[in-house]
Amino acid sequence: MNDEILTIEEAAQLLKVNPETIRRWIRRGDLPVIKRGSVVRIRKSTLLQEQREAA
């Protein structure tokens, strides 16, 4: 699967929200992420799917 991987900041820009909002969603378990040590990444397709489901 060829899916774009985003940083928290890139995800926030895409959704036009504050990066802290993305971090809050991650802490609550509302947004699945890829973690490698302290590095957190978000699949763009997952982010857009979560956005559609929330609407």
Of the two residues 55 and 13, the one the predictor is more confident about is 13
Instruction: Using alpha carbons, list the distances in angstroms from residue 32 to 11, 18, 27, 41, 50.
Output: 12, 18, 10, 9, 9
Beta strands (DSSP E) in the chain are 5-6, 34-36, 39-43
Rounded to two decimals, the pTM is 0.86
User: Residues 46, 54: contact at Cβ < 8 Å?
Assistant: no
**Phi, psi (rounded to 5 degrees) for 32:** -65, 140
What is the residue range of 49's domain?
A: 5-54
Report the pLDDT value the prediction gives residue 9, as an integer from 0 to 100.
98
pLDDT at 2 over 80: no
- Number of folded domains in the chain? 1
How do residues 22-52 score in pLDDT, each as one tens digit? 999 999 999 999 999 999 999 999 999 888 8
